[in-house]
Amino acid sequence: MAYRILITMDDLEAAVRLNAAFEAAGFETSMVSAQDDAKAAVLRDDPDLVLLTGGLHEPAAARLLALVRDGRVATLGLLEPTEADPAAVTHRMGLTAAIAKPADPSDTVALCRRLIERKQLQERTGILGDHPAIQEVLIKIEQMAPVSSTVLIEGESGTGKELVARAIHELSPRRARPFIAVNCAALPETLLESELFGHEKGSFTDAVERRLGRFEIADTGTILLDEVGEMPPATQVKLLRVLEEREFFRVGGASPIKVDVRVVAATNRSLREAMATGDIRSDLYYRLNVLAIYLPPLRERRSDIPLLVRRFIHEFSKLHDRPFRGIEPAALQILVDSPWPGNVRQLRNLVESMVVLAPTSEIRPEDIPREIREPGRERLLPVRVPGMAREVAGQELTYIVQSLLDLRLQVEDLRRRLEDHPQRVEVIEVPHEAPDAEVVVSPSGMASRAGEGQLRPPRGRDAVVYEAGMSMADVERATIEAALAETRGNRRKAAEMLGIGERTLYRKLKEYEAEGGSISSLT
């Protein structure tokens, strides 16, 4: 099917010249002037690409871009030769690309074809972003998909490694065959080996029957070895054999099994460094690193944040059936400036929570959680254990340590119960040597990693004091009380602080009421 191009007539001479070139190349074209109804034109022509021939800084151009931005439509701007920096204009206006005039017709046609095909690839794979680093990733995916060579994908957590691995599989001739992901860090050595290679009946105590490994299940398809940098040394030797010989033995098996599996490995630590520290064998490193893709952290491609935010708002407002206008510029600015240690995953989860929780149909700065709005002020609800400042010895110390361990188990239980929510509560540290020690309960997720292992001073009014004999329910109730005190009774904010749904909070408050007594700080 012919690609459709909508050309603006701001620079009539360029528009006419390029229009002829596009028609000659088999594109369907239409033209729109600044006076025309751009919305009607976009709806009528349903273009694959909008080409702005001039007037990029005029309101009409901004209106036209707002109509097609963030969708499957590519946009190309032609800049005056005096315009210094095409990349800056691209970024500021949210264009897919910009080039300086005079635009060579055949180069422009070729560029537009590439931009359209790249956009279609992005729609198909879900990998969003106009940043050159992401465009480079897409080019690599296109190049690497057709072959069967091993691919190593490196990038921090949440940068899209699994998304890219799936895209490689989806674009490959193996697409109709299985795609199997195995997390190499999640299992101890023996289980991982039986997971990857299968086992024969009776090969170990629990092996009551023969089991196929993931490599066998993935035969003729693709296997994703996630967190490959964490693979135990003995398993590395076996993996190396698969990569070299394309065969392996089931655990307890005597005959080799041949497979045709494409291996994609992912890691959120540098595999070269893992090799330097001896965690990964060098022969395995070179076997895995045949083709490599690096996914940059989100903070290194901030120009993609507006696009990601708008797409996620669109996606989640549809999913949760909440009509949503979008985001205020000041709020978007805060998101653009944030460090995003959890990368796209963290941004996506945050947008989902804001779409669900924002009281108006537009995200405002005050709807953004405080630790994003005011970096450095982390959300902490410290639990202080009284008596720790005193000299403690013998039995008393044993008792306190025991209480701390119990408390840790209880809080972990709470964390499990909140697990359906992306921002969980987890005990970061249960210190038992330091005087003045306290148990810190803090939101988990990447945002709190920086504070991991540190002690925090209790924050006065909202400190939760743990006393021996308190049950989990008591700790939970005290924590909720502290959160409500902190937010002056604002339940929505309190729920957000605690990382639980507002409804869960309501239910718990109802339970407390039913038990007799209500929470004092509620207004």
Ligand X SMILES: Nc1ncnc2c1ncn2[C@@H]1O[C@H](COP(=O)(O)OP(=O)(O)OP(=O)(O)O)[C@@H](O)[C@H]1O
Least CB distance to ligand X at residue 167 (A)? 10
Q: Does residue 126 belong to the site contacting ligand X (CB under 6 A)?
A: yes
Q: Which residues contact 160 (CB under 8 A, 6 or more apart)?
A: 127, 295, 343, 344
> Measured from the CB atom, is 27 or 179 closer to Mg ion?
179
What residues from 265 to 324 belong to the interface with ligand X (CB under 6 A)?
268
How far is residue 243's CA from residue 256's CA, in Å, rounded to a whole number?
Answer: 14
Closer Cβ to Mg ion, 3 or 179, answer by number? 179
Cα distance between residue 366 and residue 492, in whole Å:
12
Sole window of 235-243, 341-349, 432-440, 482-490 interacting with ligand X (rule: CB under 6 A): 341-349
Q: Which is nearer to ligand X, 230 or 486 (CB)?
A: 230
Alpha-carbon distance of 169 to 109, in angstroms, equals 30
298, 134 Cβ separation under 8 angstroms: no
CB 147 within 8 A of CB 101: no
Element counts in the chain: helices (H) and strands (E): 20, 20
Q: Is 344 or 414 the residue whose CB approaches ligand X more closely?
A: 344
Query: Closer to Mg ion at the Cβ: 154 or 371?
Result: 154
Q: Which residues make Cβ contacts (< 8 Å) with residue 371, sequence separation at least 6?
A: 377, 378, 379, 443, 447
CB of 156: closest distance to ligand X in angstroms? Answer: 7
Q: Which segments within 288-332 are labelled E, that is strand?
A: 291-295, 326-327
| Residue selected from 55, 77, 155, 382 as contacting ligand X according to rule CB under 6 A | 155
Site for ligand X in 239-268 (CB under 6 A): 268
Q: Which does 504 bind (CB under 5 to 8 A by kind): Mg ion, ligand X, none?
A: none
Kindly identify the residues of this chain, within the stretch 197-256, that bind Mg ion according to CB under 5 A.
none
**Residue span binding ligand X (CB under 6 A) among the ranges 33-41, 126-134, 441-449, 478-486:** 126-134
Q: At its nearest, how many Å lie between Mg ion and the CB of residue 449?
A: 17
How many residues does this entry show for the chain?
A: 523
Shortest distance in whole angstroms from residue 161 CB to Mg ion: 5
Q: For residues 160-199, which are near ligand X according to CB under 6 A?
A: 160-163
Contact call for residue 162 and Mg ion (CB under 5 A):
yes
Alpha carbons 168 and 145: distance in angstroms, whole number: 5
> Stretches 158-166, 188-196, 241-249, 504-512: which one binds Mg ion (CB under 5 A)?
158-166
* Min dist. Cβ of residue 184 to Mg ion (A): 11
CB atoms near residue 268 (< 10 Å): 19
Is residue 157 within the footprint of ligand X (CB under 6 A)?
yes
Residues 6+ apart with CB under 8 A from 273: none
77 binds, among Mg ion, ligand X, none (CB under 5 to 8 A by kind): none
Q: Tell me: does residue 344 bind ligand X (CB under 6 A).
A: yes
Q: Write down the least CB distance from residue 71 to ligand X, Å.
A: 14
Cis, bond preceding 233 (omega within 30 deg of 0): no
Do residues 54 and 102 make contact, with C-beta atoms less than 8 angstroms apart?
Answer: no
> Using CB atoms, what's the residue nearest to ligand X?
160
- The radius of gyration computed from the CA coordinates of the chain, to the nearest angstrom, equals 28
Residue 268 interacts with which of ligand X, Mg ion, none, CB < 5 to 8 Å by class: ligand X
Position 129 contacts ligand X (CB under 6 A): yes
In angstroms, what CA-CA distances link 416 with 108, 138, 345, 412, 465? Answer: 55, 37, 20, 6, 22
Residue 435's binding partner among Mg ion, ligand X, none (Cβ under 5 to 8 angstroms by kind) is none
Count of residues near ligand X by CB under 6 A: 16
In 3D space, the residue among 75, 73, 168 whose CA is nearest the CA of residue 127 turns out to be 168
Question: Which CB, 111 or 185, lies closer to ligand X?
Answer: 185
For every residue of 31-53, which 3-state class applies, written as one string? Answer: EECCCCCHHHHHHHHCCCEEEEC
> 183 touches which of ligand X, Mg ion, none (CB within 5 to 8 A by kind)?
none
Measured from the CB of residue 138, what is the shortest distance to ligand X in angstroms?
Answer: 10
**Backbone dihedral region for residue 55 (phi beyond 0: left; psi -120 to 50: alpha; all else: beta):** left
Residues that bind ligand X (CB under 6 A): 126-129, 155, 157-163, 268, 344-345, 348
Residues that bind Mg ion (CB under 5 A): 161-162
